[in-house]
Chain A
Amino acid sequence: MPVHAEAAVLAPLSGGPTAIDLKERVRSTASDRFMPYLLGAAAIFSGLIVTLLVFFVVQKAWPVFHAEGLRFITAGGWDTQLEDAWNGSAFFGVRALIAGSAFSTLGALLVSFVLGLGCAIFLAELAPAWLRRPFETIVQLLAGIPSVVFGLVGLMVVVTFIADHMVPGNSGDVVTEIPIGGACLLAAIVVLTFMILPFFVTVATDSLRAVPRSYVDGGLALGMTRWRTIMRIQLPTAAPGLIAGLVLAAARGIGEAIAISMVAGAIAFMPNFAHGPLYMLLEPIRSMASAIVENGGEAMDVPSIAAALFGLATLLLAFSITLSMIARWAFGLFSRRMGVVSDRNL
């Protein structure tokens, strides 16, 4: 300590750095040279994890794709094949699972688009100032509810309601293949709608708010009503942002496993158009993601089943990567349209 004090006193006279200064500087240049590499390694490692993920999942799925090729996607009959696989058979077709994922996700997207757009317009434009914060909190609450809780409430409320009030007494005459008991595509759509809605609402609200005020003012100055400026100016301008929100919501919907496995009946049944729209909604489904959690336990010890489940994971991975690419494209379109060159560098 005395040495440092001395140096500090002497230093101004010599005009050079003090001892403390020197020591600090030497130490910090060392870490200054070293830290960027360490931090950069962390960043690059995090960015490349997804390639590891693709590698391992595809590698494990390889046997089933190698043996079956496209028939893995186009053939049906998952449930019986699963039974047979325990006895050594090794052919799987996941068409019904893809249909289950597609129907439940598209249905939920449609409903949550209509409902969510209403919420987003309300949040961005119509809500009085005092109501905005509470409503935003509620949307965030909804986003935070775990999927297993959605599944439990859906099972006890939605499925029970459908079984008690919507399934016709003579349903056995129309649908002969399986019993109809309330756990169905409709229940999956209802539950999924409220699971993906908050993600769409958040993105859609931000997009609507990002539309420059001058656009709206121009419309109002021309005598348009407030509602017409929303419909004719804000929505079309924010459209790419809305699409991005919808795509993100779709990605969540297609990957949802637990809630759908609880409310949709867990039977790989191909929704049958011949039964009419009501029965189609009341028939059970099984989605790709829910098939993985339902069969991912002991059945993983059977190599052929494990490969088939990894095949499903590969399909899910392909869907989610594609959707995230579309979302990135839509976001890019939106920010170019809003005149933001790159908000990251500002």
Chain B
Amino acid sequence: MESITKQGNRRIGSSIGIALCWAASIAVAAVCLFIIGYLVFQGWHAINWHFLSSDPVASLSEESAGGVRTPMVGTAILVLFSIVLILPVAIGAAVYLAEYMDERWWITRIVRIGLETLASVPSVVFGMFGLAVFTVGFFKFLSSSGTEGGSMAFGRSFLVASIVMGVHILPFVIKVAEEAIRSIPKSLRQGALALGMTKWRTIRKVVLPAAAPGIATAVVLGMGLAAGDTAIVWLTLGGTMTMASDAWWRVSNWLPVLRGAGSTLTTFIYFNSPAGDGNSPGAAFGAALVLIVLVLVLNLTAQLLFRRGSKAGS
């Protein structure tokens, strides 16, 4: 008798457990879809040609918050510069970790621990690190002169922010690229080596081309991370919404713009949200919709590339 009721209780218990797992998953999916739907719903009204083609205005009233042209340019500069700056280092490190390093070597362990730790450091700490390094007078050429008698550098510019952002995304890019290189079957390498190719030629002519989709995944993921980060940009690009020059497209202005402060989509949202000084939620929602579309496109591209890569690899 007792064992039968016990079994019955268990059956009820397991159906409840299974139902709870379904409920949790549905709740999480609903929240995710709600966030995206809410942004589309709220941001839709804000987005028009004027919003996309005009510059932000430093103003406290909602009607004159301006548009997101320079923040979009800012995001583009930051994303491209940070990934281009670190790509040679990232691919080099990934190739070395995947192809040359002996896992039992103590240096290998230190490098791996260093990369894992770097990946766990919060982005706000990277921002402070950037300020600590690039306010040193020696780095004046990356930003402008500071306020304190000119011995220090200002330490906030597109160049500084790109370098710091590059360091922030470096461990993630290395990790994905290394996995991509490792996933290339041994037989390809052995074939090339059997034909008399040296190790480096095998890597350059056989392994890297085969791993190209995976490495592209790493690049696109890194770009998504760079586009979505706020703390680094807020600290190392300055809190100003406008660029050093409104006519950023003129070649003669490129250097001043890169050495100057500015904004990206993320800091534009932060500034214009009710929590920031700008307080114009409409503009913040418009920019948030642009940002989320950009980030989602980058992430979906990464997933597609990844699937193509793993198909090619297997």
Residue from A40, A51, A152, A297 in contact with B114 in the complex, judged by beta carbons closer than 8 Å: A51
A323 → B minimal CB distance (Å): 7
Query: Binary interface profile of A, 94-116, with partner B (CB < 8 Å = 1, else 0)?
Result: 00000000000000000000111
A228-B10, A289-B231 known, 14 other contacts, Cβ within 8 Å? A35-B200, A43-B96, A46-B111, A49-B118, A56-B129, A60-B132, A119-B25, A146-B230, A146-B292, A148-B269, A153-B35, A227-B14, A293-B235, A313-B128
A327 to B120, CA, bound (A): 10
B124:A293 contact, CB within 8 angstroms: yes
A301:B147 contact, CB within 8 angstroms: yes
A49:B170 contact, CB within 8 angstroms: yes
CB closest residue in chain B, given A147: B230
Is B187 interfacial (CB-CB < 8 Å)?
no
A166 to B24, CA, bound (A): 23
Stretch at the interface among A4-12, A66-74, A168-176, A258-266: A258-266
B18:A126 contact, CB within 8 angstroms: yes
Best-buried of B95, B231, B266, B274 by chain A (most CB within 10 Å)? B231
Is A321 interfacial (CB-CB < 8 Å)?
yes
CB closest residue in chain B, given A39: B96
B284:A53 contact, CB within 8 angstroms: no
A227 to B20, CA, bound (A): 12
A258 to B100, CA, bound (A): 40
Is B145 interfacial (CB-CB < 8 Å)?
no
A149:B101 contact, CB within 8 angstroms: no
Query: Binary interface profile of B, 84-113, with partner A (CB < 8 Å = 1, else 0)?
Result: 000011101101110011010001001111
- Which residues on B sit within 8 Å (CB–CB) of A141? 32, 36, 296, 299
Residue from B13, B27, B201 in contact with A227 in the complex, judged by beta carbons closer than 8 Å: B13
Is B309 interfacial (CB-CB < 8 Å)?
no
26 sampled A-B residue pairs with Cβ under 8 A: A28-B198, A28-B200, A32-B199, A43-B97, A43-B101, A44-B111, A45-B89, A48-B111, A53-B118, A118-B23, A122-B25, A138-B28, A145-B35, A151-B270, A153-B35, A194-B32, A230-B17, A258-B230, A262-B273, A262-B275, A292-B124, A292-B235, A296-B234, A324-B116, A324-B120, A342-B103
Is A256 interfacial (CB-CB < 8 Å)?
yes
- Which residues on B sit within 8 Å (CB–CB) of A263? 275
Q: Contacts A225-B14, A316-B124 given; indicate if A146 touches B100 (C-beta within 8 A).
A: no
Residue from A29, A38, A60, A293 in contact with B231 in the complex, judged by beta carbons closer than 8 Å: A293
B296:A43 contact, CB within 8 angstroms: no
- Which residues on A sit within 8 Å (CB–CB) of B131? 296, 300
- Which residues on A sit within 8 Å (CB–CB) of B107? 44
Interface residues of B in 260-290 (CB under 8 A from A): 266, 269-270, 273-275, 281, 284-285, 288
Is A135 interfacial (CB-CB < 8 Å)?
yes
A237 → B minimal CB distance (Å): 18
Is B291 interfacial (CB-CB < 8 Å)?
yes
B171:A46 contact, CB within 8 angstroms: yes
Best-buried of B95, B110, B170 by chain A (most CB within 10 Å)? B95
A42:B200 contact, CB within 8 angstroms: no
A126:B231 contact, CB within 8 angstroms: no
Interface residues of A in 229-260 (CB under 8 A from B): 230-231, 248, 251-252, 254-258
B234:A293 contact, CB within 8 angstroms: yes
B20:A118 contact, CB within 8 angstroms: yes
Is A197 interfacial (CB-CB < 8 Å)?
yes
Q: Contacts A118-B25, A157-B38 given; indicate if A310 touches B115 (C-beta within 8 A).
A: no
Interface residues of A in 12-61 (CB under 8 A from B): 25, 28-29, 31-32, 35-36, 38-53, 56-57, 59-60
A287 to B171, CA, bound (A): 26
Is A226 interfacial (CB-CB < 8 Å)?
yes
B99 → A minimal CB distance (Å): 8
A153:B275 contact, CB within 8 angstroms: no
A31 to B204, CA, bound (A): 11
Is A337 interfacial (CB-CB < 8 Å)?
no
A122:B24 contact, CB within 8 angstroms: yes
A316 to B229, CA, bound (A): 18
A202 → B minimal CB distance (Å): 12
Is A272 interfacial (CB-CB < 8 Å)?
no
Q: Contacts A32-B200, A118-B20, A342-B103 given; indicate if A43 touches B93 (C-beta within 8 A).
A: yes
B175 → A minimal CB distance (Å): 11
Interface residues of B in 219-270 (CB under 8 A from A): 224, 227-231, 234-235, 238-239, 266, 269-270
- Which residues on B sit within 8 Å (CB–CB) of A336? none
Q: Contacts A32-B198, A135-B29, A194-B31 given; indicate if A226 touches B14 (C-beta within 8 A).
A: yes
Is B193 interfacial (CB-CB < 8 Å)?
no
B128:A57 contact, CB within 8 angstroms: yes
Q: Contacts A145-B295, A149-B35 given; indicate if A292 touches B128 (C-beta within 8 A).
A: yes
Interface residues of B in 148-180 (CB under 8 A from A): 148, 167, 170-171, 174
Residue from A48, A142, A151, A300 in contact with B275 in the complex, judged by beta carbons closer than 8 Å: A151
A138:B118 contact, CB within 8 angstroms: no
Residue from B42, B120, B234 in contact with A321 in the complex, judged by beta carbons closer than 8 Å: B120
A49:B128 contact, CB within 8 angstroms: no
